[in-house]
Amino acid sequence: MKKKSNSRRMTYDVRRTPIVRPLWIEVDLRALRANYRKICKFVGSKVKIIATIKQSAYGHGLIPVAKCLSKAGVSFFGVGSVEEACQLRKAGFKQRIVVLTAVLNKFCDYFIKYEITPTVVDLAFARKLSSLAAKKKKKISIHVKIDTGMGRLGKDVNDAHKFILSLSKLKNLRLEGLYTHFPVADTNFRFTNDQIKSFNEFIKNLEKEGVVFKYHHCANSVGIMNYPHSHFNMIRPGLILYGIESSTKAKLEVKPALSLKSRVIFIKRIKKGSGVSYGSAYVAKKPTYIATIAAGYADGYPWAVSNNGKAGVIIGDKMYKVAGRVCMDHTMIDLGNKKITPGQEVILLGSRGDLQITANDLALWAKTIPYEVVSRFSLKIPRMYKGI
C-alpha cells in the first residue's frame, strides 16, 4: 500500500504529531475572521476585497487561512507566486486568485491550466497568453499593473496608455483589473495623494476611449486606513487582516491572530560576572537564574534582538529580558531571582492578560518591520489553529 505523505499533517494539524521540541505557532482564526469583517464594514459593501495571503499568508499558513477566509466570504485571493496559486487550486479553492507579481513569459500556460489571474506588465506576455487562450477557446481575465511611483513592477503611468490600448485589442483577454501600489502611504501624504490623482486621471482617459476595467485597486493596509479615496472598488489588505496595526492615524482595532510560543528547556544559576551566550556580551551584574528556551534565529526569531536591552518574553504573568545573543535554535532569558521549572510556557509573540508582545514590538527591537517578523517564522514550526 502506498504510504500517505504526512507533510501536510505536520504543518497543519499538530494535534496528530508529537511535539518534542517545544516551539509552535498558534493562529487564532476567530481573530482573522473578525479582522476581515471589520475591514468589510470599514470600506462598505461596494468595495471588493483581495485578501492578500502571499508568503504562506504572512507566515500564518496558506491553506488554513484561505479556508477560514473562504468561509467568511472572500472571493479574491492575492498570492505572491504561481506556486501558491497552484497550491490553492490543488486544495480545491474555487475563488479567484490574482498573482501579485510578474511571471516570465515561458510560464504563462499555468494561468490557463489552473485558471488563475496574472498581473500583466508586458505586451509580449499578454500576446502569448492571449494566443494560448485562443487555442483553448478561452477568455482569460487579467489585472494590469501600472507604476505611479513605486518604481517596481509596471509601466510608468505617463507612458502606459498605448500599452493598455494594445492590450485591449487582444481578443482572448478580459481587462478585469487595473492597479498600482503605494511606496510611502505611511510617511508622505502628498506623494500618495498625487499617485491617487494620476491613477484616477489615467482611468478617465482610458474610459474616454472606451477602455473600461471592471476593478480599480491601489490600497494596501495603510492606504485603506489613511486614504478612503484610494479604495476605488477593490482593496488589497494584508497586514491588518492578520491583526497587525500599520502606522496609520485611524485605528481599526484589529486583533493579532498569531502567537509564537516555546517552553523553558533548562535553568541554571550563574554567578555575578558570568557571561551568557556567544561573544559573552551579556554579563550578569548579580547572581541570577538563566532560562534557555527552544527558539532561535533559524526559526525566524530575529538575531537582531540580541543584547537589545528591551527585548523580552512573557513567562507566567511577567516579562523577562532576553539575555545575550540569540543562537541558531536557543535563546536565553534572564529570570533574576525567579526560579522557574523547565517545561514552563514562554510567549515570544502574543499576549497573556495585560501583557502583550506584538509583531510591531518585535520589529522595533530587531530594527525591522512587522512584515519581515511574521513572514520569516520558519515553515517548519508546527502551526495550531484555534476557532476553525
Ligand X SMILES: *Cc1c(COP(=O)(O)O)cnc(C)c1O
Residues that bind ligand X (CB under 6 A): 52, 54, 100, 181, 220-221, 236-239
Distance CA 270, CA 287 (A): 6
Instruction: Report the nearest approach of ligand X to the CB of residue 324 (Å).
Output: 33
Where do the DSSP E strands lie in 117-214?
A: 119-120, 140-147, 155-156, 173-179
Q: Closer to ligand X at the Cβ: 34 or 293?
A: 34
- Which residues are the active-site residues? 54, 278
Q: Closer to ligand X at the Cβ: 236 or 263?
A: 236
Give the containing element (helix H, strand E) for 166: helix 161-168
Instruction: Report the nearest approach of ligand X to the CB of residue 271 (Å).
Output: 47
Q: Would strands 331-336 and 318-322 be described as parallel, antiparallel, or unpaired? A: antiparallel
CA 34-223-167 angle, 5° bins: 110
Instruction: Report the nearest approach of ligand X to the CB of residue 52 (Å).
Output: 4
Instruction: Report the nearest approach of ligand X to the CB of residue 333 (Å).
Output: 31
Residues facing residue 191 across a β-bridge? none
Which residue, among 264, 248, 275, has the nearest Cα to 189 in the 3D structure? 248
Alpha-helix residue ranges (DSSP H) falling in 91-150: 109-113, 123-135
In Å, how far are 68, 246, 359 from 369, measured between CA atoms? 26, 10, 8
Distance CA 251, CA 234 (A): 20
Q: 378: which 3 cell numbers? A: 520558519
Q: Closer to ligand X at the Cβ: 78 or 324?
A: 78
Instruction: Report the nearest approach of ligand X to the CB of residue 101 (Å).
Output: 8
